[in-house]
Structure 1
């Protein structure tokens, strides 16, 4: 039996804790012991359907109390699980289902398990091959046989961001899961008998599934997991659940903290929110805006939140989940580096607050690599060029995947020495902390300078009338002409003057970045995003690059 399964079916059941799920106003508890017992019965049904070692099972369900036992049942049978991506509120349902079917075909999914609210689309999947298994069916009473799993056996095929358009799945093994779980525990994730993990993150995303369902299930934490719809309906539901369950650990992308900051600004201080129990509020999954996080800390501080609880992190599905955590209890650490040296010289040179100091860019430090994880920087000239040299980040470790599955078949994820090229551009500090500047494929080169989209997007968001999280920047070029900077901003309805917003964005970007952009305004929801809320830069460029400004 793999170490992961030994932990899941042994010590994790001894803490007496469990999973709280359901509507945020009526959460119910299911102990991990009860979930494991239900999983054994579900494994029996899967066994009768032919699910065994090496099988691939996909799932679409909203309730974490359905997902948890099904995941265990799949692993008991020696199979691999894929959580299909759920549609966003703005998604075209026809396109979403077509994308899911392409994933099912790519992975060779033999069985698709459907729960609410996806039972209505069962026929649309059944006619394309997989056996449909409904959660509301009779699953019987006979437990399944436990299949012995090796460390290299695949437990999860995790879809990468945007996979419904061009499918690619990260193969996460039993060994990967165990290594990353142990590393996160060592990174002060917590104590199962004491800590309470709270999440609304989608279970199709690695932070939601691995971080807040698999990890507490494997170590026996109390986990409070609700559907992302609970956050979308009312973001402050997140804080109410933390308050009611005295949550100590939570996580979200940067945009969610920004939303909470704005909502709390309209809430009276005597409202029933108590955030004083939080000791680990992770921010990751997208570039961290230090100004937005400072705003969140100030707004949440009125309700007992300590800024020292913020944990800036670096992670990716290819690392199972986490690569680095900032030090616990230290809050967000930001350094200011010379903008010109960063853009033109490829070095992150710290600057001071002196009057004659060069213009600086704030960079959030993401901590040192977790135990068992290595990070290094590679440039075109050399690997490991030393601290503060900007280049592509490479990672290596027991939690790093060995391969992907794509429409072209299996694709190795690491080189001959075990290093995975992340595509992230960044640097390491003198004490080994990770800092991210952007994605290599998204870097905009104007007059020999490297412009990082996140820097432009943060500046543009400050203009009145521009939606936070509704900005994308990219470079465009025509034959014989240098690359130019283009910014697309989402604006609200009403009597807003779009031309004035365009001029204001252009002025602010030029003043801060030193490059004059072409600015395009669009309504809310026009900019394409992944299901986890990240901007799809490549798709946005394809959509907007040819639009006349």
Structure 2
């Protein structure tokens, strides 16, 4: 079992509503802790102590103001895993400017699609400047061409800017700490406004109650800074807790996933998180390798979040690395979302992976989570994600808004000090998501079991791809726009449950009976979506006008999914 010691928390992490992330950074700067950045070969390239980060960020803040930016402005930051992103992020904070982390190109994504996506995000944020890593400067300049920005470039471009005179003013607790873009639609991105107050509430809850940070803890992360789990979980919360973090870029993890574990072993790290697919990729890569004396026994909190948790994947990982000091009791299941800053629940430390198998027929037809009633009955295993963090509330509600008892499936709502204030300049979307009395509609379905939240799926059409929420229309529009002969409304994308988790399916209307042309279309659609979105897609062709639509003529994905399942059942 995990040793539960009293939490060790830096001075700025006391539950004080008036603290900001800068207070936490300056408290952490009194220690030798900081951020360490490693190459794709695991070599330390940059050590950035918190004390140095404070000095660098303050100097850059004066130059941002000298460039004509003003407190309250937003600055877009392409969020590579490098020290300059961190320096610029905190420079914005010291200048009372709002940083907006933005994604890197996907490994197999198209250049033009990425540039268009970044441009939309810059426009959505109403950014007044934009910065990128040196290697991406030309891309950013092209993406921002014609936009009214005071500065577009890299951190080096600030060297030529004369610093603004005078002292830097401090942000207030209710100022925006950053703008986090939802990872859903690329056509209509939404900016999530997180205040310093909400950030500090969440980071304090994570460090004091979720992970129970203690003397000697150390983190390792490969999660991207533009995702809430990477940004909040492994950049901002470690500052609040006064911990050192060793970073590996996400692209380097994808190439060499076992380097993640090597860094944990080398630095005796105790805390590291991943979506299920990260554990799966590591176990697959290690399946036939001799890992020698690799020792990850220091890893006390192996967090899981960012996607639907797949217990069979986690058991496979534990089985593979048990001889290297890992076991099931190290897992810490959790649940959250960017709209809640990051975390809403944590499974109790030391209990490890707790899952239960429920009758899938009753779950689907009655909304009740019970044990399978007969041998051979359809079933599914779900993981318990723990109770709500202190000062937070979670309710599971029926369609009429009534709170449901345990083991009744409903829509998950949350309330507490970590919630976002609003979607940036999206009052209608904000009103649809947060009620006047402060309850957040998470868009997820779940139930309570023994006081712990269990997530069963998405209430809406969102599809989970490698830890990212992807809107199905993004896949549909991509096929319609890039494959000759496919018309608007010809594609329906949705997900179904399979033995390996979530299976993404695309139904495509086809107007030819020629076998060669049909086979080529299936291959084209599957290859395009795999390369663009990083996931395998099951492609099925249907006849012209076969896709169901609503009475208003809109595509009905729920009925398209039912059509696919009926075809599967019929063996068609």
What TM-score do you get using the length of structure 1 for normalisation? Answer: 0.81
Aligned to 1:287: 308
Pair 1:458 & 2:498 matched: yes
Pair 1:248 & 2:270 matched: yes
How many angstroms does 1:188 deviate by?
A: 4.3
* SS of equivalent residue, structure 2 residue 156: coil
Aligned to 1:309: 330
CA distance in structure 1 between the aligned counterparts of 2:21 and 2:413, rounded to whole angstroms: 29
Given that 1:54 and 1:80 are in contact with CA atoms closer than 8 Å, whether structure 2 keeps it comes out as yes
1:5–1:360 distance in 2 versus 1, CA, 3 Å: closer
Which residues in structure 2 correspond to 1:263-278 (within 5 Å)? 263-270=285-292, 272-278=293-299
Which residues in structure 2 correspond to 1:30-109 (within 5 Å)? 30-109=48-127
Given that 2:81 and 2:249 are in contact with CA atoms closer than 8 Å, whether structure 1 keeps it comes out as yes
Aligned to 2:476: none
Post-superposition Cα deviations, 1:463-508, rounded to whole Å, max 9, x if no partner, equal xxxxx87x3148999xxxxxxxxxxxxxxxxxxxx99xxxxxxxxx
1:252–1:534 distance in 2 versus 1, CA, 3 Å: farther
Given that 2:21 and 2:236 are in contact with CA atoms closer than 8 Å, whether structure 1 keeps it comes out as no
2:352 to 331, 337, 343: 331
Given that 1:43 and 1:145 are in contact with CA atoms closer than 8 Å, whether structure 2 keeps it comes out as no
Aligned to 1:321: 342
Aligned to 1:464: none
Pair 1:414 & 2:430 matched: no
CA distance in structure 1 between the aligned counterparts of 2:556 and 2:257, rounded to whole angstroms: 26
1:203–1:254 distance in 2 versus 1, CA, 3 Å: same
User: Where does structure 2 lack aligned partners over 5 or more consecutive residues?
Assistant: 1-16, 464-493, 510-517, 540-553
User: Where does structure 1 lack aligned partners over 5 or more consecutive residues?
Assistant: 445-452, 462-467, 478-497, 500-518
CA distance in structure 1 between the aligned counterparts of 2:204 and 2:316, rounded to whole angstroms: 33
How many angstroms does 1:410 deviate by?
A: 7.2
Given that 1:167 and 1:406 are in contact with CA atoms closer than 8 Å, whether structure 2 keeps it comes out as no
Pair 1:137 & 2:148 matched: no
Q: Which deviates more, 226-235 or 39-48?
A: 226-235
Given that 1:90 and 1:525 are in contact with CA atoms closer than 8 Å, whether structure 2 keeps it comes out as no
1:199–1:5 distance in 2 versus 1, CA, 3 Å: closer
* SS of equivalent residue, structure 1 residue 230: helix
Aligned to 1:215: 237
* SS of equivalent residue, structure 1 residue 57: strand
Tell me the number of residue pairs that the alignment of Structure 1 and Structure 2 aligns: 487
CA distance in structure 2 between the aligned counterparts of 1:357 and 1:536, rounded to whole angstroms: 27
How many angstroms does 1:407 deviate by?
A: 7.0
What TM-score do you get using the length of structure 2 for normalisation? Answer: 0.78
Given that 2:93 and 2:177 are in contact with CA atoms closer than 8 Å, whether structure 1 keeps it comes out as yes
1:368–1:528 distance in 2 versus 1, CA, 3 Å: farther
* SS of equivalent residue, structure 1 residue 210: helix
Post-superposition Cα deviations, 1:222-241, rounded to whole Å, max 9, x if no partner, equal 01112111112211111111
How many angstroms does 1:191 deviate by?
A: 3.4
CA distance in structure 1 between the aligned counterparts of 2:528 and 2:294, rounded to whole angstroms: 30
* SS of equivalent residue, structure 2 residue 423: strand
Given that 2:98 and 2:177 are in contact with CA atoms closer than 8 Å, whether structure 1 keeps it comes out as yes
CA distance in structure 2 between the aligned counterparts of 1:540 and 1:116, rounded to whole angstroms: 44
Aligned to 1:424: 444
* SS of equivalent residue, structure 1 residue 40: helix
CA distance in structure 1 between the aligned counterparts of 2:56 and 2:214, rounded to whole angstroms: 22
CA distance in structure 2 between the aligned counterparts of 1:98 and 1:54, rounded to whole angstroms: 25
1:347–1:521 distance in 2 versus 1, CA, 3 Å: farther
1:540–1:310 distance in 2 versus 1, CA, 3 Å: farther
* SS of equivalent residue, structure 1 residue 62: coil
How many angstroms does 1:290 deviate by?
A: 0.9
How many angstroms does 1:274 deviate by?
A: 1.5
1:382–1:119 distance in 2 versus 1, CA, 3 Å: closer
* SS of equivalent residue, structure 2 residue 123: helix
Aligned to 2:43: 26
Alignment RMSD: 3.4
CA distance in structure 2 between the aligned counterparts of 1:300 and 1:189, rounded to whole angstroms: 22
Aligned to 1:236: 258
